[in-house]
């Protein structure tokens, strides 16, 4: 995996962010989701590196990045702080402006990154999410049953952490395997890496704090943006799985049009894990959108 990439870490915004770097050209930041790591990009990273300097980072609390302690109002895991990690990492690597390709939790970080640091992001691709505020405010029974972890993980500590730490592999298989494609999209090597990182001390805390922040302080930030009239003004592409929960329970393109002025998107023939289920289709859509010639 990641042939030609260098694995490293940088101390930025008070934490160590682990990442892989490969390729040359304009900067492209890749951000993963829960309960995974930057390894989600292993099927397309080398092809992206033919056109970009690719930085595939582990979010704080995940992978081999720092797992900060819990904090009042879960500030340490707010998407504002996680976005600052990404901006400072890219600056440390020489990129004051870059594009972003992000999935799941990473896409929520990317949304905040582009709002808080609009000059830093040239173009952005977000995978299989609707805006956090829209998803919470429109929750129905079908969504709650499919995304049960959203409500389990935000329970007060230490209950969710204790249950995850009791059997990390069972948690991983339950969350990832219960989606439309089951565990088929994940190679043995990738799954082993996700499990290794989930078993690291503090991983369960990081995951729970990430979700607790999204159900609290992140919503406060999102509501403040709405009141202030702040929108995403950069070119934005949103892609989602035709067989996934987000596409079934929400109208992703319509929801993004409420908070972005220049957005297009479509469903791909997959479930939630686009980069591992339909890497060829995702790569084609992403390159068509991200390359300067287009």
Instruction: Tell me if 196 sits within 8 A of 23, measured CB to CB.
Output: no
The distance from CA 244 to its chain's CA centroid, rounded to whole angstroms, is 16
| Angle at 63 (CA atoms; ends 287, 106), nearest 5 degrees | 45
How many angstroms separate the CA atoms of 255 and 232, rounded?
12
State both tokens at 49. 């590196």
Catalytic annotation, pick one of 32, 111, 149, 272: 272
Cα angle 83, 88, 90 (rounded to 5 degrees) comes to 100
CA angle (264 as vertex; 279, 226 as ends), nearest 5: 115
* Whether 103 contacts 127, CB under 8 Å: yes
Rounded to 5°, angle at Cα 207 from 286 and 290: 10
User: Would strands 6-12 and 27-31 be described as parallel, antiparallel, or unpaired?
Assistant: unpaired
Closest of 84, 102, 58 to residue 207, by C-alpha: 58
Residue 116 annotated to the active site: no
Annotated catalytic residue within 104, 210, 218, 222: 104
294 catalytic, yes or no?
no
CA R_g for the chain? 17
- What order of strands is seen across the sheet that includes strand 98-103? 6-12, 15-23, 53-57, 27-31, 98-103, 121-127, 236-241, 263-268
3-class state of residue 250 by DSSP: coil
Active centre residues (catalytic): 104, 272
């Amino acid at each position: 995996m990641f042939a030609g990439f260098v694995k490293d870490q940088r101390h930025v915004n008070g934490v160590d962010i682990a990442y892989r770097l490969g390729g040359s050209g304009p900067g492209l930041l890749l951000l993963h989701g829960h309960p995974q790591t930057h390894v989600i990009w292993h099927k397309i990273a080398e092809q992206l590196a033919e056109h970009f300097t690719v930085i595939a980072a582990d979010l704080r609390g995940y992978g081999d990045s720092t797992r900060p302690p819990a904090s009042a109002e879960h500030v340490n895991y707010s998407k504002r702080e996680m976005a600052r990690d990404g901006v400072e990492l890219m600056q440390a690597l020489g990129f004051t402006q870059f594009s972003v390709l992000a999935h799941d939790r990473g896409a929520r970080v990317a949304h905040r990154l582009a709002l808080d640091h609009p000059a830093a992001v040239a173009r952005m691709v977000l995978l299989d999410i609707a805006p956090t505020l829209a998803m919470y405010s429109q929750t129905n029974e079908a969504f709650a049953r499919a995304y049960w972890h959203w409500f389990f993980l935000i329970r007060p500590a230490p209950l969710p952490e204790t249950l995850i730490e009791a059997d990390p592999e069972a948690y991983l298989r339950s969350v990832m395997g219960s989606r439309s494609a089951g565990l088929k999209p994940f190679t043995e090597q990738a799954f082993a890496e996700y499990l290794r990182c989930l078993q690291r001390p503090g991983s369960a805390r990081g995951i729970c704090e990430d979700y607790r922040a999204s159900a609290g302080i992140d919503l406060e930030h999102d509501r403040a943006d709405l009141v202030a009239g702040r929108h995403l003004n950069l070119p934005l592409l949103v892609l989602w799985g035709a067989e996934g929960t987000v596409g079934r329970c929400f109208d992703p393109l319509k929801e993004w049009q409420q908070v972005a002025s220049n957005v297009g998107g479509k469903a791909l023939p997959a479930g939630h894990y686009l980069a591992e289920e339909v890497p060829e289709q995702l790569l084609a859509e992403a390159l068509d959108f991200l390359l300067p010639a287009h």
